[in-house]
């Protein structure tokens, strides 16, 4: 695809303008909107359908005429606020919809349409190599709109040495010519193809340079140098200049000081700078590196004329050419032409060494490229080739030492002939394996005396280096006795908790020593410490930054000790986690309250049940009126009740005497005898609800008098129960009312005593959802003890 940068796109804007509008203005029009909204981009060969809608200040759409105009192309008013616009011309364009003084503008960036023509062109036919010029590829659409496409570099064909800059921003590419002559540039891009030709001539000389075959020559060579002018594209041609060397240091090597070309012949090696300058002031310089010529002589001046047996003696020779310049020789041939040692020339890596085995004068000879040179070397004895470490005041045999103790050492140097002499080696050249100890200079003894202080446990090698010599001593370091302890405690804990810790033992060098955990004596003010098979447990009873001290008697009679600290955070009652304390106390309180409530409710339920049963015993049958007490019955047996007033039962109750101020307790009824009963005074009747299944039902049978509990046995909780018959009746009525209120019935009731209406899906009298007095759904559950309750 083409990437075209045709300017920024402005958004839609709405404004009130004083310019005339072909659509009659409606005073209620406040603003106009155009859809699609901007910013927009579209090709020049397509049309855009647009719609404008007018609104009043309240945002209500209005049906008013809309007039249209555009900065280019043609616009067709379709009516009803609709129009079709054909842009044709590329670039930023605008469309205006108006009604009276109210207008809305849509800014559109018009892009070229589909291309139908491609051409490649340059402004002129002739250019110099100094010029840069535009080469313009253009595409054109059906309306003649032209634009520069972004053509990839791979689709351009350029002559060698020519460069092109592709801005890819809609502007023409820039050509930078190179070589001179007739040039042709071609584009082959998708289905588009074209080419253009032009002539490139030499540019203005911008510099002069020295042309040469090589900047590296030997002192035996002669090199030709030529001066050339060049333009900015690198095109060159011969130029007349003056010649010299920097500071005149090698003027003798130049064959001439003027002209287009000269010869340079140098004797001395090194870097030599040749300079030129033309009549226009253009100048240049060239640095020639002159290396040595062929080998002409050999020097052995770098070899020492004395040496010790065992010393490293590298054979080195220097070669020189005829001008005295050093010559690099690839291979030297060495030999010993005279001397007591045989086969004393030994190859060492890439070089050769002299390794004599006898003392005396030796003649060393070297040859190369037909040249010969020799030197006499006096060989001496004495340089150590081996080091030996000996331990003073120790019996022969395996060398064992307890860690932390010391050994006195002496170091001997042994030459190739077996001679031993005490020698000193720098402390930095002593090495103890695994750093199990240190080497120090001995305070007494002189040359070669050292002290080794051990640490660590195991086999230790002590190695020392002196020049090329090396010595090693093996020592077995034994574990030392218990020296100190480490108490491994957690950094912090809460008061009231128990933490685990252990005690570790170490010798004086810090090596672990096995100990029995429970052999330690623990001293601490943090709490109680106990030891078991898993180690130590510390019950934290105090708070603060507290210390735990451990002590063990070592096997050598000394005491090993260690201390660590723990930060104990205070907690409530010292019970550990405060949250757990709160939960425990809350749980205990709930249990106590629950126990009290259970006892109270059980007691109350028992008292209510007893009173209810007593009331049932003394309450008259509502359906039977109480007959008057005959006078003759006073002090004797009353006449029998009418048969019609007796309940249909084959049994009769025995006569009982009612004692005041007693509460009857329920007992099994005895068999009814056919003896007459004494009528009792009728207490005030208790009214019952027909639906109250929990209310006590009257009984026609009279129970015999039974002993009751006194109020003293119940204490103050009795509150005068059983003082008289009126109190018992009232209490029975209250109990009956409570049973009536907690019964399941047809469901929960409101304050007026009306049953609430259940929601669909809930049966009346069952747990579920009911409408309250305000018609809102509420959730109810029934309990046989407390009745209905709302969730």
Buried b (16+ CB within 10 A) or exposed e, 598-609: eeeeeeeeebbe
113 and 43 Cβ atoms separated by less than 8 Å:
yes
Q: Is the peptide bond before 36 cis (omega within 30 degrees of 0)?
A: yes
pLDDT of residue 741: 58
- Higher pLDDT: 389 or 616? It is 389
Q: Which of 98-102, 412-416, 590-594 has the lowest mean pLDDT?
A: 412-416
Q: Using pLDDT thresholds of 50, 70 and 90, give the confidence band for residue 152.
A: very high
User: Do 29 and 128 reside in the same domain of the chain?
Assistant: no
Q: In the predicted model, what is the mean pLDDT of residues 690-697?
A: 38
In the predicted structure, residue 214 carries a pLDDT above the cut 90: no
User: Do 65 and 164 reside in the same domain of the chain?
Assistant: no
User: Do 428 and 495 reside in the same domain of the chain?
Assistant: no
In the predicted structure, residue 276 carries a pLDDT above the cut 60: yes
Opening angle at CA 75, ends 69 and 76, nearest 5 = 115
Last residue of a domain, one of 95, 111, 127: 111
pLDDT of residue 396: 78
Give domain status of residue 771, yes or no: yes
| Angstrom distance (rounded) from CA 530 to CA 548 | 13
Whichever domain contains 322, its CATH number is: 2.60.40.10
pLDDT of residue 730: 60
Q: In the predicted model, what is the mean pLDDT of residues 158-176?
A: 91
In the predicted structure, residue 563 carries a pLDDT above the cut 70: yes
pLDDT of residue 624: 41
pLDDT of residue 576: 56
| Residue 595, both tokens | 């126990």
In the predicted structure, residue 758 carries a pLDDT above the cut 80: yes
User: Do 422 and 546 reside in the same domain of the chain?
Assistant: no
- Higher pLDDT: 271 or 18? It is 271
In the predicted structure, residue 618 carries a pLDDT above the cut 60: no
Q: Which of 79-83, 144-148, 411-415, 651-655 has the lowest mean pLDDT?
A: 651-655
409 and 388 Cβ atoms separated by less than 8 Å:
no
Buried b (16+ CB within 10 A) or exposed e, 356-365: beebeebebb
**Tens digit of pLDDT for each residue in 326-352?**
888 888 999 999 988 888 899 988 889
3-class SS of residue 11:
coil
Q: Using pLDDT thresholds of 50, 70 and 90, give the confidence band for residue 269.
A: confident
User: Do 335 and 470 reside in the same domain of the chain?
Assistant: no
Q: In the predicted model, what is the mean pLDDT of residues 464-483?
A: 88
Give domain status of residue 272, yes or no: yes
3-class SS of residue 465:
strand
Q: In the predicted model, what is the mean pLDDT of residues 451-477?
A: 90
| Angstrom distance (rounded) from CA 145 to CA 112 | 6
| Angstrom distance (rounded) from CA 104 to CA 97 | 5
In the predicted structure, residue 253 carries a pLDDT above the cut 50: yes
Q: At what angle do helices 725-742 and 578-618 cross, to 10 degrees?
A: 120
Opening angle at CA 509, ends 504 and 510, nearest 5 = 30
275 and 264 Cβ atoms separated by less than 8 Å:
no
| Angstrom distance (rounded) from CA 69 to CA 566 | 89
User: Do 341 and 414 reside in the same domain of the chain?
Assistant: no
Strand partners, 49: 84
The position carrying tokens 């981009």 is 41
- Higher pLDDT: 550 or 776? It is 550
**Tens digit of pLDDT for each residue in 726-744?**
454 465 556 556 665 566 7
Compute the mean pLDDT over every residue in the chain, rounded to the nearest whole number.
79
Q: In the predicted model, what is the mean pLDDT of residues 443-465?
A: 90
User: Do 469 and 416 reside in the same domain of the chain?
Assistant: yes
In the predicted structure, residue 465 carries a pLDDT above the cut 90: yes
User: Do 732 and 589 reside in the same domain of the chain?
Assistant: yes
9 and 92 Cβ atoms separated by less than 8 Å:
yes
In the predicted structure, residue 720 carries a pLDDT above the cut 50: no
User: Do 428 and 564 reside in the same domain of the chain?
Assistant: no
For residue 459, the tally of other CB atoms under 10 A from its CB is: 11
User: Distance between alpha carbon 146 and the CA centroid of its chain, in Å?
Assistant: 55
Q: In the predicted model, what is the mean pLDDT of residues 482-501?
A: 89
The position carrying tokens 């509150």 is 719
Give domain status of residue 405, yes or no: yes
Q: In the predicted model, what is the mean pLDDT of residues 247-275?
A: 90
**Tens digit of pLDDT for each residue in 7-50?**
333 333 334 343 568 778 888 999 999 999 878 999 988 999 99
In the predicted structure, residue 659 carries a pLDDT above the cut 70: no
Whichever domain contains 461, its CATH number is: 2.60.40.1080
Give domain status of residue 634, yes or no: no
Domain boundaries, position 551: 484-576
**Tens digit of pLDDT for each residue in 620-632?**
444 444 444 343 3
Q: Using pLDDT thresholds of 50, 70 and 90, give the confidence band for residue 68.
A: very high
Q: Which of 144-153, 172-181, 686-695 has the lowest mean pLDDT?
A: 686-695
User: Do 491 and 539 reside in the same domain of the chain?
Assistant: yes
Number of domains within the chain: 8
Give the ranges where 526-663 is alpha helix by DSSP (H): 578-618
In the predicted structure, residue 575 carries a pLDDT above the cut 70: no
Q: Using pLDDT thresholds of 50, 70 and 90, give the confidence band for residue 463.
A: very high
Opening angle at CA 509, ends 508 and 513, nearest 5 = 75
Model confidence, pTM:
0.34
Nearest to residue 467, comparing CAs of 418, 429, 419, 417? 429
| Residue 578, both tokens | 């405060």
Q: Quick one: what percent of the chain has pLDDT higher than 90?
A: 34
In the predicted structure, residue 684 carries a pLDDT above the cut 60: no
Give domain status of residue 610, yes or no: yes
pLDDT of residue 482: 86
| Angstrom distance (rounded) from CA 99 to CA 308 | 117
Strands (E), 615-670: none
In the predicted structure, residue 641 carries a pLDDT above the cut 80: no
For residue 734, the tally of other CB atoms under 10 A from its CB is: 12
Give domain status of residue 664, yes or no: no
Give domain status of residue 504, yes or no: yes
User: Do 595 and 695 reside in the same domain of the chain?
Assistant: yes
User: Do 267 and 319 reside in the same domain of the chain?
Assistant: no
Last residue of a domain, one of 554, 576, 598: 576
Last residue of a domain, one of 428, 453, 478: 478
| Angstrom distance (rounded) from CA 327 to CA 217 | 14
Give domain status of residue 749, yes or no: no
Strand partners, 353: 314, 346
For residue 584, the tally of other CB atoms under 10 A from its CB is: 14
């Amino acid at each position: 695809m083409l990437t075209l940068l045709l300017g920024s796109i402005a958004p839609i804007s709405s404004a009130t303008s004083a310019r005339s509008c072909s659509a009659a203005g409606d005073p209620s029009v406040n603003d106009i909107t155009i859809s699609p909204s901007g910013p927009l981009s579209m090709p020049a060969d397509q049309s855009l359908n647009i719609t404008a809608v007018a609104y009043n200040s309240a945002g209500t759409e209005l049906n008013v005429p809309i007039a249209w105009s555009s900065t280019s192309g043609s616009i067709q008013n379709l009516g009803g606020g609709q129009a079709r616009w054909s842009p044709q011309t590329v670039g930023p364009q605008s469309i205006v919809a108006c009604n009276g003084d109210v207008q809305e503008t849509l800014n559109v960036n018009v892009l070229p349409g589909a291309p139908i023509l491609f051409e490649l062109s340059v402004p002129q036919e002739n250019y110099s190599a100094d010029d840069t010029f535009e080469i313009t590829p253009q595409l054109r659409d059906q309306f003649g709109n032209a634009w520069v496409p972004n053509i990839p570099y791979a689709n351009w064909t350029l002559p060698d040495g020519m460069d092109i800059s592709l801005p890819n921003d809609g502007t023409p590419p820039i050509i930078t010519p190179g070589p001179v002559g007739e040039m042709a540039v071609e584009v082959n891009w998708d289905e588009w193809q074209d080419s253009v030709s032009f002539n490139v001539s030499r540019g203005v000389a911008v510099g002069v340079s020295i042309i040469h075959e090589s900047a590296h020559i030997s002192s035996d060579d002669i090199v030709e140098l030529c001066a050339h002018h060049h333009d900015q594209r690198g095109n060159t041609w011969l130029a007349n200049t003056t010649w010299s060397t920097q500071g005149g240091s090698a003027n003798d090597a130049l064959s001439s000081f003027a002209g287009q070309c000269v010869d340079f012949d140098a004797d001395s090696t090194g870097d030599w700078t040749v300079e030129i300058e033309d009549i226009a002031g253009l100048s240049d310089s060239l640095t020639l590196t002159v290396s040595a010529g062929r080998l002409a002589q050999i020097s052995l001046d770098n070899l020492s004329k004395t040496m010790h047996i065992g010393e490293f003696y590298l054979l080195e020779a220097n070669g020189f050419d005829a001008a005295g310049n050093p010559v690099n020789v690839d291979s030297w041939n060495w030999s010993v032409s005279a001397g007591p040692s045989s086969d004393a020339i030994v190859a060492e890596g890439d070089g050769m060494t002299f390794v004599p085995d006898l003392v005396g004068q030796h003649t060393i000879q070297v040859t190369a490229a037909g040249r010969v040179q020799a030197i006499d070397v006096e060989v001496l004895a004495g340089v150590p080739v081996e080091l030996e470490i000996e331990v003073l005041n120790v019996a022969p045999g395996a060398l064992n030492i307890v860690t932390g103790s010391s050994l006195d050492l002496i170091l001997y140097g042994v030459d190739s002939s077996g001679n031993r002499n005490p020698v000193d080696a720098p402390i930095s050249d002593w090495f103890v394996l695994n750093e199990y100890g240190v080497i120090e200079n001995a305070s007494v003894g002189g040359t070669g005396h050292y002290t080794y202080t051990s640490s660590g446990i195991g086999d230790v090698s002590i190695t020392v280096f002196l020049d090329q010599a090396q010595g090693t001593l093996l020592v077995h370091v034994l574990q030392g006795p218990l020296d100190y302890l480490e108490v491994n405690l957690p950094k912090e804990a809460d008061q009231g908790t128990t933490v685990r810790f252990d005690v570790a033992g170490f010798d004086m060098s810090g090596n672990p020593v096995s100990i029995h955990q429970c052999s330690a004596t623990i001293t601490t003010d943090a709490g109680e410490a106990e030891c078991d098979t898993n180690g130590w447990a510390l019950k934290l009873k105090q708070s603060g930054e507290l210390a735990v001290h451990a002590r063990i008697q070592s096997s050598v009679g000394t005491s090993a000790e260690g201390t660590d600290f723990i930060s104990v955070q205070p907690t409530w009652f010292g019970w550990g986690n405060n949250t757990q304390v709160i939960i425990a106390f809350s749980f205990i309180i709930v249990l106590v309250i629950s126990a009290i409530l259970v006892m109270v409710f059980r007691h109350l339920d028992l008292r209510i049940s007893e009173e209810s049963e007593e009331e049932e015993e003394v309450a008259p049958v509502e359906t039977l009126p109480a007959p008057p007490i005959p006078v003759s019955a006073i002090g004797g047996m009353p006449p029998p009740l009418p048969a019609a007033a007796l309940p249909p039962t084959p049994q009769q109750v025995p006569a009982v005497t009612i004692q005041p101020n007693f509460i009857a307790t329920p007992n099994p009824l005895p068999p009814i005898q056919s003896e007459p009963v004494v009528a009792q005074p009728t207490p005030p009747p208790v009214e019952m609800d027909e639906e109250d299944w929990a209310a006590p039902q009257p009984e026609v049978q009279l129970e015999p008098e039974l002993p009751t509990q006194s109020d003293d046995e119940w204490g103050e909780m009795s509150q005068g129960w059983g003082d008289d018959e009126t109190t018992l009746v009232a209490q029975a009525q209250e109990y009956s009312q409570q049973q009536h209120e907690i019964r399941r019935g047809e469901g929960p009731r409101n304050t007026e005593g009306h049953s609430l209406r259940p929601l669909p899906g809930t049966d009346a009298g069952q747990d579920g959802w009911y409408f309250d007095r305000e018609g809102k759904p509420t959730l109810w559950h029934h309990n046989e003890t407390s009745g209905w309750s709302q969730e």
